Amino acid sequence: MASITAPGAALTAREEAAWRGLRRMQTLLAAQMSRRLIRETGLSEADYDILAALHAAPDRRLRALALRCTVQWEKSRLSHHLARMQRRGLVEREDCVEDSRGAVFGLTDAGRIAVEGAAQSRCDAVRAFVTDLLTPVQLDLLAEISDVIMRALAEDPEHRQIVHELASDTV
């Protein structure tokens, strides 16, 4: 349905089904996962990603740059998000000693408690909506498919800049 007269060649039914299915699943999954986690833990997935990265770091503190490599966000997004998390008391900002241009962010006690409390919820949610539903074979295949697509995206000129930006760092 809804296949407009495509001069070259339209998507086959198989392609359309795979693409529409992927899109709808992705949207719904993200929306519901997000609502559930926020309700149960007070943290968004974005919050969790940041806090988990800090939690795993040597001294529970990381440079903004290192965080950016981990979560792979635009730098302005990271900046805005960290500012909001700081206001909520989840992280704290310090100056960077080895490079005064830099910024270092550390977990506050509240942040540590929040992320530790959220870990189980997240795990349960992932199980309920993804991993428990698929056979081991499907699970591996899904990882493989994601990987193939990711690789292609990484080669797209659009993405090159970001990769390049990040590549020039010492993490």
Partner DNA sequence: AAAGATTGACCACTCAATCTTA
Partner DNA sequence: TAAGATTGAGTGGTCAATCTTT
Give the footprint of a second copy on this chain (CB under 8 A).
1-11, 14-15, 17-19, 21-26, 28-30, 32, 35-36, 45, 52-53, 55-56, 72, 115-116, 119-120, 123-124, 126-131, 133-134, 136, 138-150, 152-153, 156, 158-159
Between 1 and 97, name the residue whose CB sits nearer to a second copy.
1
Our finding on whether 70 is near DNA (CB under 7 A) is no
107 three-class SS = strand
Query: Which of the choices a second copy, DNA, none does residue 148 contact, using the CB cut-off of 5 to 8 A by kind?
Result: a second copy
Least distance (Å) from a second copy to the CB of residue 68? 14
2 three-class SS = coil
Amino acid (one-letter) located at 29:
L
Least distance (Å) from DNA to the CB of residue 128? 19
Alpha helices (H) along the chain: 13-41, 45-56, 64-71, 75-87, 109-129, 136-155, 157-167
CA distances (Å), origin 114, targets 11, 48, 52, 107, 109: 46, 9, 10, 10, 8
Least distance (Å) from DNA to the CB of residue 55? 19
Q: CA 117 to CA 126: how far, in whole Å?
A: 16
Residues forming contacts to DNA in the complex (CB under 7 A) are 31, 35, 44, 46, 63-65, 68, 73-84, 93, 96, 99-103, 165, 168-169
